[in-house]
Structure 1
Amino acid sequence: MTDLITLAEIVESGLCIGCGLCQSIAGEDAVEIVMTPEGRLRPLEKAPVDPASLALINKVCPGLVVTGPDPDELAEGHAFDEMWGPLRQTVLGHAGDPVIRFQAAAGGGLTGLASFLLESGRVERVLHVTADPDQPMRSRATISTTPEQVLRASGSRYGPTAPLVEFLSLLEDGKPFAFVGKPCDVDAIRALEMEDPRVASLCRYKLSLVCGGASELGKSQDLLAGLGVEEPEVTLFRYRGYGNPGKTRIEVRDGRAWEFSYQEMWEDEGTWRLQFRCKICPDPIGELTDIAVLDCWPGGGPTGEDAGFNAFITRTAAGDELFQAAVAAGAIVVDGPVSARMLDDYQPHQVRKKRALAWRLQGMREAGVLTPAFERLRLDTFAYGADDPRAAGNLDGIKQRIASGRTRENPVRREGD
């Protein structure tokens, strides 16, 4: 990559996911992640980004590059699946603490692991996300130092988040920490790890959910509008949890409250308002994480509430060791093995997306737009065959989307400006 790609080009090409790492690299005096009028978190350039910082951003931005696991580093004797990547352990389970299991999303798997990391002293802090106390519908990065803080921040957050805005500051502090977030956030951390040796020594565990995509804030704003509620009235906006999958619950200052089932909120994928980068995501399943944790509903969706379960995928030696220790300590309870084909059934939309992605990327290249470099993720070998009508559908569909301007974004401006 000889010519550096500017932040404006990344954003306006629809490739930004709003992780916030560019702000951390360039500094808040130059770049600030802001909410845009379109309901997206994007980097607002307040001053020119120096060339060295921009060069590093070009190397680590998950909108530009994602490189999958190195096949030469995969452990012998462990499974590798064309769809799901490296699989050391794949099991069904849940948090051992019944409060965590009930209150956190699904079976509380990530919350249980994060709490165990702090309780065991393996790390001093956990970087993750929580509801913004001043704007409960929105999310922000937070640092937990106790299991109680982890639990208070638990529950899925559907919508834009920027968990990496202070990532380099944590490296400068020199205290060991863990990260819990989306796979694209972990992809950015792993890319930075190749450039900065502090990442491997200090960010000791990288955990992620298996992600269905990050919605624009407009998804939640539409829900409020339908209720006749203004955002400043909201005192609680809980997307999931308190059961599995748990209901979306909204509370406002005058005491009114509403609840919506998971199916009412998320069954129609056409209403998700996903950001474009999510539609071309090469790694929603967290192949670069130490442990990936996912919902495990047969057929791909819940039929009602249950006690709460997760599927766990350990992918690295560090993830394996952590998971075994968490099970031994009772922080995680294992209910049985899970096969890769069971994962297909739990998350069929992930299979469809991965098979479509090579064709979507080809459509972008043929349309002459900025196209990210996604490598070592088997996108070509796992793709729909050329004679499969779904191949042409995805190729032509992305070209039509580009031609209509739906993949482009406006220059960044702050919400309300």
Structure 2
Amino acid sequence: MQLPVTTIEEVCARQLCTGCGVCASVEPKRFRMADALEYGRRPFLVEQPAKESGLGLQCCPGASLEHTFDPSDPELEQELIAGWGPVYDVWEGFATDDAIRLAGSSGGAATALALYCIEQGGMSGVLHTGARQDAVHLNESVYSTSREELLDRTGSRYAPASPCDGLHFIEQAAGPSVFIGKPCDVAAVKRAQEVRPELSGKVGVTLAFFCAGTPSTQGTLELLKQVGVEDPQSIEGLRYRGNGWPGKWTVRWREPSGELRSSEMTYAESWGFLQKYRQWRCYICPDHTGEFADIAVGDPWYREVQPGEPGKSLIIARTPRGREIIQAAQRSGYLTLETRDATLLPRSQPNLLGTRGGLWARLKVLHVLGAAVPNLKGFETFPFWLRALGTSQKVQSFTGTIKRVFTKQLRRKASIIETKGEA
């Protein structure tokens, strides 16, 4: 028997929450976002909560995702729709500004596009994620309005983030704004625009970055312990990527003696450790490449990156609006586009077709064993299970999920406890 998911509390307890923060935005008198050490950012009830209106659940990407684009649009790359969603154009490029290109996780394209929108596109600012000033191992939603602020907040943050809890920044801005977030965050914004008149028309463009999942705060704390950082309050700087491509995980902290120390790991080493702490909902996510965004950016992993090579970005126009902004940013000198080739997307992320195929088996197992399942519409999965997975992978897609149902206790309600202090 499948467990019902009819409230935001059920979404959290059944481990379907993505931590996006949209419920706290559309129902601020009921929910607030805070960190749960083992799970990620989660909505908790305010001190005197109002009755749940249902708007949060209506916008929740953890509970449901549905594609509504027209697949018959002749401008779409038809051969990519089934596996990658709507794609109008694909480029490899980078930020023309050398400082932005260096600081970005890949080629700085997202930051360059955001800066173009502020300086030339008539937008008021950018809602995105940055390190908390008082606890740099944690994230907070920020609204940037200048190159300096954007540059200071570049680089991936492989830690819980809930940028949708900052949608009030967009509502209160004088003009339209840019939104940058994970694929699930962007899907939530799209839904929120439908239920909040104050927000509709104020989102100028949405940018999503490719996402393989969100590790919990516990993951970061355990990684810090690996290099000798026991007290996160001693940290003076923490970057997960950037300052080179793909960049290194780098931490600076001060010992009780006052000595300033630092340590670093390669991207492969740090992500190899952190990915073990990803929240469960990421294992059953159909969208790792921003299919609901206007623009999506990621790494062009279709070839081996050479040591010292300057960063490059894979840039995808997912709507005509997104394509228009990409091309305008190029004409204005903010973005350099080198190669226009739709095959760059599947060549850069070949494993994702297998991930989509594996999703079909995972959802079947959850249904049979009575665990909660998100309502997904418009995503093809079974054809990729047949074609993209080998025999052993097909078997693993079932057996691995069966194991996780029991190890993660997915048939029971999880007890989500707020982390007090600064974790």
**1:60 aligned residue:** 59
**2:330 aligned residue:** 327
In 2, the alpha carbon distance for the partners of 1:405 and 1:214 equals: 16
In 2, the alpha carbon distance for the partners of 1:121 and 1:324 equals: 12
Partner residue of 1:258 out of 254, 260, 263: 263
In 2, the alpha carbon distance for the partners of 1:38 and 1:4 equals: 21
In 2, the alpha carbon distance for the partners of 1:213 and 1:202 equals: 28
**2:214 aligned residue:** 214
In 2, the alpha carbon distance for the partners of 1:144 and 1:277 equals: 29
Q: Give TM-score, length-normalised by structure 2.
A: 0.90
Distance 1:142 1:61, change over 3 A: same
Q: Give TM-score, length-normalised by structure 1.
A: 0.91
Q: State the aligned residue count.
A: 408
**1:375 aligned residue:** 377
Q: Does 1:295 align with 2:299?
A: yes
- Cα displacement string for residues 30-70 of structure 1 (whole angstroms, at most 9, x for unaligned residues): 32211123252111123445242xx1122110110111242
In 1, the alpha carbon distance for the partners of 2:172 and 2:148 equals: 26
Q: Does 1:396 align with 2:399?
A: yes
In 1, the alpha carbon distance for the partners of 2:198 and 2:380 equals: 29
Instruction: Provide the secondary structure at the position in 1 that maps to 2:337.
Output: strand
- Cα displacement string for residues 3-41 of structure 1 (whole angstroms, at most 9, x for unaligned residues): 8722221112111111111111221x5322111232521
Distance 1:86 1:4, change over 3 A: closer
- Cα displacement string for residues 338-386 of structure 1 (whole angstroms, at most 9, x for unaligned residues): 333x323322332221111111111111112221111112223433369
Distance 1:33 1:409, change over 3 A: farther
- Cα displacement string for residues 79-135 of structure 1 (whole angstroms, at most 9, x for unaligned residues): 131212222111110001111111111100101001111011431011001111111
Instruction: Provide the secondary structure at the position in 2 that maps to 1:71.
Output: coil
Distance 1:311 1:282, change over 3 A: same
Residue correspondence of structure 1 range 240-389 to structure 2 within 5 A: 240-253=241-254, 254-266=259-271, 268=272, 271-298=275-302, 302=305, 304-340=307-343, 342-384=344-386, 388-389=391-392
**2:204 aligned residue:** 204
Instruction: Provide the secondary structure at the position in 2 that maps to 1:194.
Output: helix
Distance 1:263 1:369, change over 3 A: closer
Q: CA RMSD in A?
A: 2.3
Are 2:105 and 2:245, in contact at CA under 8 Å, matched by a contact in 1? Answer: yes
**Residue type of the partner of 1:280?**
I
In 2, the alpha carbon distance for the partners of 1:191 and 1:39 equals: 24
**2:24 aligned residue:** 23
Distance 1:288 1:39, change over 3 A: closer
- Cα displacement string for residues 277-308 of structure 1 (whole angstroms, at most 9, x for unaligned residues): 11111111111111111101236x74644100
Gaps of 5+ in 1: none
**Residue type of the partner of 1:235?**
E
**Residue type of the partner of 2:129?**
V
**Residue type of the partner of 1:102?**
L
**2:171 aligned residue:** 171
- Cα displacement string for residues 187-246 of structure 1 (whole angstroms, at most 9, x for unaligned residues): 111122333355441111000111111111122211211222110110000111111111
Instruction: Provide the secondary structure at the position in 2 that maps to 1:131.
Output: strand
Instruction: Provide the secondary structure at the position in 2 that maps to 1:155.
Output: coil
Are 2:36 and 2:419, in contact at CA under 8 Å, matched by a contact in 1? Answer: yes
In 1, the alpha carbon distance for the partners of 2:191 and 2:364 equals: 24
- Cα displacement string for residues 321-349 of structure 1 (whole angstroms, at most 9, x for unaligned residues): 10110010111101112333x32332233
**1:77 aligned residue:** 75
Distance 1:393 1:272, change over 3 A: closer
Are 1:245 and 1:306, in contact at CA under 8 Å, matched by a contact in 2? Answer: no
Distance 1:351 1:4, change over 3 A: closer
Instruction: Provide the secondary structure at the position in 1 that maps to 2:416.
Output: coil
What is the Cα deviation at residue 269 of structure 1? 6.7
**2:419 aligned residue:** 415
In 2, the alpha carbon distance for the partners of 1:222 and 1:176 equals: 40
Instruction: Provide the secondary structure at the position in 1 that maps to 2:260.
Output: coil
Gaps of 5+ in 2: none
